[in-house]
Amino acid sequence: MLYGIAAATASFLLAALLAGLLRAPALRLALLDRRRRRPVPLLGGVAVVLVTGLVAWAGDGTGVVPLGPAVGRLLVAATAVGALGLAADVWRLRRRWVVAGSAVAAACVVPYEVTGPVAGGLAVVWIALVAAAFQGLDHADGVAGTVGVVTAFGVAACAAAEVMDALAVLLSVLAAALTGFLLHNWHPARVALGACGSLFAGFLLAGAAVFTRAGHEPGTGAGVLFALTAVAGADAVLVLLSRRLARRPPLRSVRPSATGGRGRLPRGAAVTLGLASFCGVLVGVLVHTGWGTVEVAVAVGAGVVAVAALSRVRVYGPAGRARTVDREPSRATGVGPAASSRGAIFPVRQTRSSEKVQVSAPLRVRNG
C-alpha cells in the first residue's frame, strides 16, 4: 500500500518534469502535431512511457512488487508498441502498419491457455483496435490523458478484485504518469502524447483488461471490456461513419470526432468526455465485481444512441469539401470569400471595386 502511494507520487512528479523538459527538443526537431489550430510538440508520450517503465521495473527489481512473467511481458510489449508509435511520429508511418504491429505485439501477450484460441484471437484484434482508438483521441487537448486516467483506475480496480496486485500497481503508475502529463496537455496544450504515448496507454489498458477478464464468462467479459473503453470506441465509430458519409478515406490524419474535430476543443469538452468515460468504467467495474448485469445493456444502449446522435453532426462540408475558413471579406481587397478562394486557385489579377471597368456591356461578335 505504501509502495503504491510512493510509486504513484514519483510517477506524477517525474512525468510532469520530463514532459516539460522534452518540449524544447520536440520543437527543435520539428516533431509537431499539425492537426490542431497551432502546432503542438509530440514528445509527451515519451515521458509517460519512460516514467511508467522506470517506476514499474524499479519495483520489480527491488522485490517490493514483482511484476511476474505475464505482467512483465505485457509491459515489454506495450513499450515496443510505444516505440513503434514514436517511429510513426518521426517518419509518418501509415496507420495500417501501426495497427499490424500492435496486433503482433498483442498476439505475444494474450493468455491463450486461459482464454482459448478463438477468444484469444478476438482479444488480439480488440487490443489492437483499442490502441488505435486511443491514438485517435490525442487529436485534441486533454482528451486522451483524461480518458486514459479514468480507464486506468477502473481497470486497476478490476485487477485488485482479482488479487492481481502487480497489475493494479502498474496501472496506478500509468494513471499517475498520465496525470502529470496532463499538467502540460490541458487546454491550451503545450505538449501532446503523440502516437508513442497514446498507443502505449491504449495497448497497456486493453491488455490489462483482457488479463482481468480471462477465465470469466465470454458474454459478460465482452460487455465489461466494451464498458471500460466505451468513449474511445464511440469516437472511433463516429470517425468511420462521418468519413463514410462524406466519402473520405477512412485513415486520414485530420479527423472529426466526438470532441469537435481538428483540435477545436472547448475547455469543458475534456471534462465531459472524462465524465462519460467514468460512467462506462463504473458500469464495467460493477459488473466485473458481480454487482449486476443490467448495467451492461444500459451502457451498450447509451453508446449506440450517443454514436447515432453524434453521427448527425456536420463535421464536413457538402460532398466532402473542406469548410471555408475565411468567411469575411478581405479588408485589403474588399473581395468576399468566393473571390479570394478563386484568386488563390487561379493566380490572376483580381479587379477591385475602385478600379474603372473598361467594358460595361457584353460584347457582340458577328460571324463572317
The residue written with cell numbers 485534441 in the block is 140
Confidence band for 320, pLDDT divided at 50, 70 and 90: very low
Sign of CA dihedral 80, 145, 42, 19: negative
| Average pLDDT estimate for 234-250 | 76
Whether the predicted pLDDT of 23 surpasses 50 = yes
Q: What is the reported pLDDT for 187?
A: 84
Least trusted range by pLDDT, from 4-8, 105-109, 178-182, 346-350: 346-350
Q: Is the pLDDT of residue 286 over 70?
A: yes
Q: With bands split at pLDDT 50, 70 and 90, how would you rate the model's confidence at 324?
A: very low
Nearest to 77 by CA among 202, 164, 183: 202
pLDDT band at 299 (very low <50, low <70, confident <90, very high): low
The more confident residue out of 93 and 263 is 93
Backbone angles phi, psi at 290, to 5 degrees: 85, 20
Mean pLDDT computed over 317-335: 43
C-alpha cell belonging to residue 74: 505485457
The arithmetic mean of pLDDT across residues 75-89, rounded, is 97
Say which amino acid occupies 152. Answer: A
Q: How confident is the prediction for the chain on average, in pLDDT?
A: 80
Identify the top-confidence range among 22-26, 232-236, 345-349: 22-26
pLDDT of residue 82: 97
pLDDT score at 340 = 41
